[in-house]
Amino acid sequence: MFIVENYALAVICCLITMLCWGSWANTQKLVGKEWRFELFYWDYVLGILLLAIIGAFTLGSTGESGRPFLEDIAQAHPDNIRTAVIGGVVFNLANILLTAAIAGAGMAVAFPIGIGLALVIGVVLNYYLASKGDPLLLFAGVALVVLAIILNAVAYSKHSGKAGKKEVGKWILIAIVAGGLMSTFYPFIAAGMELENFREPAAGKMTPYTAFVIFAAGIVASNLVFNTVLMRKPLEGAPISYAAYFKGRLGLHFVGILGGCIWGLGNLFNLIAAGKAGPAISYGLGQGATLVAALWGVLIWKEFKGASKSVNQLIAGMFLLFVLGLGLIIAAGK
C-alpha cells in the first residue's frame, strides 16, 4: 500500500486535505437553490463511500509494504471495526448539521465557527491520544484559531443586522453543535488504526485505507436514520418525502456524489499522513479547511457583499489569525 515516508510529504497530504475539506461545500451551494440540502446529502454520503472503496482497492492494495485492503479487513479486530463505525456515526450527525448551517448561513460563517471549533477541541483530543509535536507551538496556533472564530461570529452578527438576530443565533448555535460533535470523530478512527508502523501494522489494527472504508460504512448506515428524521422534521422549510429524491435530475445527483468524493479524498490523504505527522497535527492542518471555505464564501459566493468597513476589517482579521494559527500548527510538527 502507499505509505507517507516523511514529514514534508505528510504536510503536503494535509494541505490537500485542507483544500478538499474546505471546497466540498461548493457542490451544495451549486445546487442549493434547486435541491434541498437533505436531498443533496443522500448523494454526498454515497460519494464518501465510493471514494473510500476506490482508495482501498488502489492505493491501499498496491506495493509491497503494509497489508493490502482485503487481507487487512479480514484480520481486523471487532473492537477496532466498532470504533471506526462509531466515528462514522458521530461524523455524520455533525456533518449533516454543518451542511444545514451552510445552507442557512453560508460557507463564510458555518465553516469558521463549526469547523474552527472542531479544530480546537479535536487537536486537544488527538494530542492526548498521540502526543506528537511541540505543545507550545501547537496550542498557540489553536489559540489564534479561537480568536479567528470569535471575529467571524461577530462579523456575521453585525452584517446580519438587528432584523436577522434570531436567525443569526439559530445558525450559529447549529454550527457550534456541529463543531462540538465534529471534534470527536477522528479519535475513534485513530483508535482502530495502526499509527506507529504502517509498514508492519500490529495484528488486529487497521491500515488507514481499511479504517476509512469502515468509517464510511458507518456514515451511510447512520444516514438512514439521521437524514430521514431531518426530512420529516426539517430545521427549515416543509417536510419532504423520499419521492422527491428520486425525481431529481441526474446532474443534481452527480453534484452530490462529487461533493462526497471531494471530502473523501481529503479524508484519505489525512489518514495516511497521520502516521508521520501525528493525529493532532494531521487533523489540525486538515481542519484548516475553515480558511479555504471562508475564502470561497467571501470571494466567490459574495456572502459578505455590501458589508460595512468594520465588518470587512473583522473578516480580514479572521483570515490573518487563521493563517498565523495554521503556520504555528505546521511548525509544531517539525
Which range among 7-16, 115-124, 153-162, 274-283 shows the weakest confidence by mean pLDDT?
A: 153-162
Asked if residues 107 and 171 have their Cβ atoms less than 8 Å apart, the reply is: no
Cα 87 to Cα 76, 150, 183: the distances in Å are 16, 28, 11
Confidence grade of residue 85 (pLDDT, cut at 50, 70, 90): very high
Q: Is residue 2 part of a domain?
A: no
Asked if residues 101 and 290 have their Cβ atoms less than 8 Å apart, the reply is: no
Which range among 49-63, 218-232, 304-318 shows the weakest confidence by mean pLDDT?
A: 304-318
Cell 443522500 appears where? 42
Q: Is residue 31 part of a domain?
A: yes
Better pLDDT: 156 or 75: 75
For residue 326 the three cell numbers come to 495554521
Q: Is residue 26 part of a domain?
A: yes
Nearest to 220 by CA among 52, 21, 37: 52
Q: Is residue 264 part of a domain?
A: yes
pLDDT of 196 strictly over 90: no
Nearest to 315 by CA among 327, 302, 328: 302
Written as one letter, the residue type at 301 is W
Query: How many independent structural domains does the chain possess?
Result: 1
pLDDT of 130 strictly over 80: no
Q: Is residue 14 part of a domain?
A: yes
pLDDT of 120 strictly over 70: yes
Confidence grade of residue 163 (pLDDT, cut at 50, 70, 90): very low
Asked if residues 126 and 187 have their Cβ atoms less than 8 Å apart, the reply is: yes
Q: What is the span of the domain harbouring residue 17?
A: 7-332
Asked if residues 27 and 254 have their Cβ atoms less than 8 Å apart, the reply is: no
Euclidean distance between CA atoms 173 and 8, whole angstroms: 37
Euclidean distance between CA atoms 332 and 277, whole angstroms: 10
Q: Is residue 1 part of a domain?
A: no
Confidence grade of residue 280 (pLDDT, cut at 50, 70, 90): confident
Q: Is residue 148 part of a domain?
A: yes
Asked if residues 27 and 36 have their Cβ atoms less than 8 Å apart, the reply is: no
Q: Identify the bridge partners of residue 298 per DSSP, sorted by sequence position.
A: none
For residue 262 the three cell numbers come to 471531494
pLDDT of 334 strictly over 80: no
Q: Is residue 201 part of a domain?
A: yes
